[in-house]
Amino acid sequence: MRLFIAIPLSVEIKKALADCQEILKPKISGAKWVEPEGIHLTVKFLGETNERRVGDIAACCQRVVEAVEPFQISLSGIGGFPNLVIPRVIWVGISEGKEAVCQIARDLEASLKEIGFPKEARPFSPHLTLARIKFPKRVSLIASEPEIRKMKASSIQLIQSTLTPKGATYQVLKEIRFEG
């Protein structure tokens, strides 16, 4: 099973991201755009995982968020990996709530390491992926900021991702609510 842990997004945030994609599409050729319904705020990618480990992973998630209180998340500007001049990935960042998301990611990293999941080599950077570009070219994304939207983050989800020729499909295996 290909698994990851994410904070689910509100309908309003997904709508703002879809609107942002529509503004960007004419400016970027060769991009594979993420379906707005499939955009999520990943806090830990687990990759291929044995199905028998789902219970242990869910227990780690439960321990990490049991003291977390729901918090506000708001969108910030457009970014790109490795950079915004010749990006391979186009994303929207998080401003309000960024530290809370980073703390959850750090705590998950530590908890999952205890049960044998390797630590991520790259530093965690909370973002919402809008598009991937296989053959990146120079782009200009000035004045492409998403409309400022906010939502209350109130849970994390353990999600199974299945890759298909038409893109990934997602199934929520477990949702753990913030109860702090």
Query: Which CATH number goes with the domain that contains 89?
Result: 3.90.1140.10
Q: What is the CB-side half-sphere exposure of residue 93 using CA atoms within 13 A?
A: 16
Q: What is the H or E stretch that residue 17 is in?
A: helix 11-24
pLDDT at residue 59 tops 80: yes
**Domain with 129 in it:** 2-177
Q: Total structural domains in the chain?
A: 1
Mean pLDDT of the chain: 91
Give me the count of residues in the chain.
180
Q: Which of helix, strand or coil describes residue 114?
A: helix
**Could you tell me the pTM of the whole model?**
0.91
Q: What is the pLDDT of residue 143?
A: 46
Q: What is the pLDDT of residue 137?
A: 80
The pLDDT tens digits of the residues spanning 17-44 come to 999 999 889 888 889 999 999 999 999 9
Active site residues: 40, 127
